[in-house]
């Protein structure tokens, strides 16, 4: 990736001996766009980020895990600003071009002594080859890092996109995932980058759920440094870039769901034949958020009643007598009627798969939408019960 360097170190923010401080640095100020959480309890880095992103430029991003710097009042804001100033001083760049992100436990002040030592240290470790270290440093309950790299061509010139994300809990579609960073060497305006990022998020991060909780720290940030020489200046080039960005975000979103806390299965719910796009969204979202549906899937029980009941309480217009329900290609309900034991036995076999597609056809319109979600296992309860210990 031209012009970008990464680093990830253990600074002592986490209790365990794990990487917990990450840094992205761009050789020149990059065009920047971001989407943030819609939660009204907002972490200090998000409050600061919303102000800084208005300039549309960013050269460095400091990310810590193990502490969310949320619900920390004025001190939290001052600490976030102090961290960005440390980075600016260490790199010799304007403080306005530094963004910070945090993820971890809510309600604790940042251990600033760790940052005073860690920031100068992490700058020394910056390298184009250290994206994996950065990806490791931003994890919390994730079991592995999440990196996607893609390249494409426009007018016979090559451009690249790299996406790095973290998230395995506190995930629902009220912006994106917890943290995701997109780096590209494309030449694009801040306005067009924001449009493309928003569109990609709608098809990916805004169509996933793990537990129905919205984080206080959600940040989806895109940086474009223009160093490939490929310029987005017409409809065709913008579409080409959008398609590639969509692919990166969708793959990252799937990784997040697959790595859901305690998850054993990735499920896509497709709702077809709705009267409106809003209805298709409502039904798919309600099914994806249903704890009863999620636990049935963990138990590999084709309990179709939970799915149809969720559709019925979604607030969308549905006609039970017209519903068709499929697990992969296996029908279980046709025109509102269960089609028998044999179909249920075949469905039970499908539910043993690690990835399953459930399709609910409402048969009352032409609109379609989808969600990606995971099952609920015993481990989800255990992980979250022990999170702060």
Q: What pLDDT tens digit does each residue of the chain (389 aa) get? A: 799 999 999 999 998 889 999 999 999 999 999 999 888 889 999 999 999 999 999 999 999 999 999 999 999 999 999 999 999 999 999 999 999 999 988 999 999 999 999 999 999 999 999 999 999 999 987 888 999 999 999 999 999 999 999 976 555 555 444 799 999 999 999 999 999 999 999 999 989 887 666 678 889 999 999 999 999 999 999 999 999 999 999 999 999 888 877 789 999 999 999 999 999 999 999 999 999 999 999 999 999 999 999 999 999 999 999 999 999 999 999 999 999 999 999 999 999 999 999 999 999 999 999 999 998 887 777 766 775 54
Residue 219: both structure tokens together: 């940040």
Can you list the domains of the chain with their CATH numbers?
Answer: 4-258 (3.60.70.12), 266-385 (3.10.20.340)
Residue matched to tokens 């702060």: 388
> What pTM, to 2 d.p., does this model score?
0.89
- Rounded to whole angstroms, how far apart are CA atoms 86 and 116? 7
SS (H, E, C) 36-59: ECCCCCCCHHHHHHHHHHHHCEEE
- Rounded to whole angstroms, how far apart are CA atoms 109 and 250? 34
SS (H, E, C) 133-156: HHHHHCCCCCCCCEEEEEEEEECC
Name the residues annotated as catalytic. Answer: 177
8 A C-beta contact, residue 22 and residue 5: no
Which helix (H) or strand (E) element contains residue 295? helix 291-298
């Amino acid at each position: 990736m031209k012009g970008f360097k990464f680093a990830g170190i253990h600074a002592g923010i986490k209790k365990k001996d794990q990487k917990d401080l990450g840094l992205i640095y761009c050789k020149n100020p990059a065009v920047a766009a971001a989407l943030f959480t819609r939660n009204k309890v907002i972490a200090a880095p998000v409050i600061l980020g919303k102000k800084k992103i208005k300039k549309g430029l960013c050269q460095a991003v400091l990310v810590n895990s193990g502490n969310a710097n949320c619900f920390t009042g004025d001190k939290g804001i001052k600490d976030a600003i102090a961290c960005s100033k440390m980075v600016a001083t260490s790199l010799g760049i304007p403080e306005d071009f530094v963004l910070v992100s945090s993820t971890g436990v809510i309600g604790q002040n940042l251990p600033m002594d760790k940052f005073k030592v860690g920031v100068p240290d992490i700058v020394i470790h910056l390298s184009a080859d250290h994206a994996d270290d950065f990806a490791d440093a931003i994890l919390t309950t994730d079991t592995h890092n999440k990196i996607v790299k893609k390249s494409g061509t426009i007018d016979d010139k090559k451009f690249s996109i790299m996406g790095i994300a973290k998230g395995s809990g506190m995930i629902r579609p009220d912006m994106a995932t917890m943290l995701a960073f997109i780096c590209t060497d494309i030449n694009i305006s801040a306005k067009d980058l924001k449009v493309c990022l928003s569109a990609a998020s709608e098809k990916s991060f805004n169509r996933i759920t793990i537990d129905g909780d919205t984080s206080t720290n959600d940040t989806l940030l895109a940086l474009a440094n223009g160093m490939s020489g490929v310029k987005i200046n017409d409809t065709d080039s913008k579409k080409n870039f959008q398609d590639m960005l969509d692919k990166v975000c969708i793959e990252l979103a799937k990784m997040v769901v697959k790595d859901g806390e305690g998850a054993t299965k990735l499920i896509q719910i497709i709702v077809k034949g709705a009267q409106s796009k809003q209805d298709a969204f409502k039904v798919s979202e309600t099914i994806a958020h249903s704890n009863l549906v999620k636990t049935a899937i963990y138990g590999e029980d084709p309990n179709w009643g939970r799915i149809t009941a969720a559709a019925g309480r979604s607030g969308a217009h549905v006609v039970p007598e017209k519903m068709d329900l499929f697990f992969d290609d296996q029908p279980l309900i046709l025109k509102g009627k269960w089609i028998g034991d044999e179909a249920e036995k075949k469905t039970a076999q499908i539910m043993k798969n690690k990835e399953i597609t459930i399709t609910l056809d409402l048969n009352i319109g032409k609109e379609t939408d989808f969600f990606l979600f995971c099952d609920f296992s015993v481990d989800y309860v255990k992980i979250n019960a022990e999170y702060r210990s």
